[in-house]
Amino acid sequence: MLYRLLGASKLSVSAISFGCMSLKDERDAARVIDHAVEAGINFFDTADLYEKGLNEEWVGRILRSRREEVLLATKVGNQWRADGSGWDWNPRKDYILRAAEDSLKRLRTDRIDLYQLHGGTLADDIDETIEAFELLQQQGKIRYYGLSSIRPNVIREYVERSRIISVMMQYSLLDRRPEENCLELLEAAGIGVLVRGALGKGLLAGKPAVGYLDHGPDVVRRAAEAVRSVAGMARSSANVAVGYVLSHPAVASAVVGIGTDGQLEDVLRGGVRGLEDEEMKQLRAVAPADQYGEFR
């Protein structure tokens, strides 16, 4: 496994991280998480939103005996309604402080390695939100904090006003919007990028081609074919799709949704590395760069 420092922090994260949202059964989750740790994956990302906190509970129970071997990341900001009908955005300080205590209990730990704001808008009181994370850090309840957002305008505000060490964003061969300016901005600021969506909802790893963002089915099909061509016999399409995002110097890790042993084996097949320049050129030729529309 390849490891990289996450931004300016002391967190050495595996280049492929475990996205816990795909876990649907605790017994199966225990098995695949154990296999992931044995394979060298040390970064596990969850959120209080997933399964109304149950996902955090599973992760906490499963990894309790291996706590010193792994890094735990979770997210906050989406508050479930009392009747369970949905959730509302809540980035206020008092809520974040309460939610952190709940996440610590569910995760069965005394500190969260990376606590991430799960969204964000320019209408938020951003300074109040930052105050909450700074206080939690001072109290030793979180080691570092970061942002999970696909909005460039929000990302810029946190880069300028906070001490975030990471930004989790959607990025793939089928979603090259971060290449326009976000990745360069974060790299220059010393902030690590955690990528989600590297497989393009599975479209780059074997799912039938459909439209994705501004790309029609034909573009998606050509992109998937190019990925298969680069993969050849030694690598899987999933591995190459992840290799594409790992090739950018701003990216610290690809957070891949893993729910089964087969998915774990697939993404690891061929090793963990970026792509050669010619391979990158081949892939970019079939999936043109796109740009953000809203939230620029």
Q: What are the residue numbers of the active site?
A: 50
Q: How many CB atoms lie within 10 A of CB 82?
A: 6
Hey, which bits of the chain come out as E strands?
3-5, 12-14, 16-19, 43-45, 71-76, 78-80, 87-89, 112-118, 142-148, 166-170, 192-196, 251-257
Q: Which helix (H) or strand (E) holds 28?
A: helix 26-38
Q: How far is CA 115 from CA 44, 55, 94, 256, 291, in A?
A: 12, 15, 15, 18, 28
Give the number of C-alpha atoms closer than 13 A to the C-alpha of residue 209, restricted to the C-beta side.
12
